[in-house]
Amino acid sequence: MATEAFEKIKKIIDEIKDSAPKSAEELEQFRRTYLGSKNILKGLMGEIRNIPNELKRDFGQLINEAKTTAEATFKNLQIKMESAAEEAGAGNIDLTAPGEPLPLGSRHPIAITMNRIINIFERIGFVVAEEREIEDDWHNFTAMNTP
């Protein structure tokens, strides 16, 4: 009975060392299986009552070794996944950088025609005078003696 429990723990340690999750979901499943609140090792801790007294110490050390191996493997796999994500460019995005400039459109055909007409009149000697676009009541009516 005791040798079966020892073999079971050694088999779990080998599974932990050989596991290589490829995605975040598989890594989370690994964490739940070996480190979660209802992990495999907790069930084996209940087996300690069936172990003879002279082997309980070795059994406990083996379970602790399995637990530390699982923790170390999880941390290493987590670091590898994070570095792989950073290398893929997911972590290198600067959100404060200005966006790429949008291409500007072309001039409106009426604006092009108006500029041609203005150029012709400027060559003749006229000047384009810009004034306010909306006149008030005084300048439109009262100053011209129009009620």
Q: How do residues 96-112 score in pLDDT, each as one tens digit?
A: 888 888 888 899 999 99
Question: Domain of 116?
Answer: 109-144
Residue 96 lies in a domain: no
Residue-wise burial string across 91-108, b where 16 or more C-beta atoms lie within 10 A, e elsewhere: eeeeeeeeeeeeeeeeee
Give the model's pLDDT for residue 132. Answer: 82
Number of structural domains (the chain) is 2
Q: How far apart are the C-alpha atoms of 10 and 4, rounded to whole Å?
A: 10
Q: Are 117 and 124 in contact (CB under 8 A)?
A: no
Residue 7 lies in a domain: yes
Residue 99 lies in a domain: no
Query: Are residues 73 and 127 located together in one domain of the fold?
Result: no
Query: Are residues 70 and 114 located together in one domain of the fold?
Result: no
Hey, is 43 helix, strand or coil? helix
The rounded mean pLDDT for the chain is 83
Give the model's pLDDT for residue 2. Answer: 66
Q: What is the pTM of this model?
A: 0.53
Query: Are residues 73 and 115 located together in one domain of the fold?
Result: no
Over the stretch 58-116, which tens digit does the pLDDT of each residue have? Answer: 888 888 888 888 888 888 888 888 877 666 665 567 778 888 888 888 999 999 999 99
* Residue 121 banded pLDDT, cuts 50, 70, 90: very high
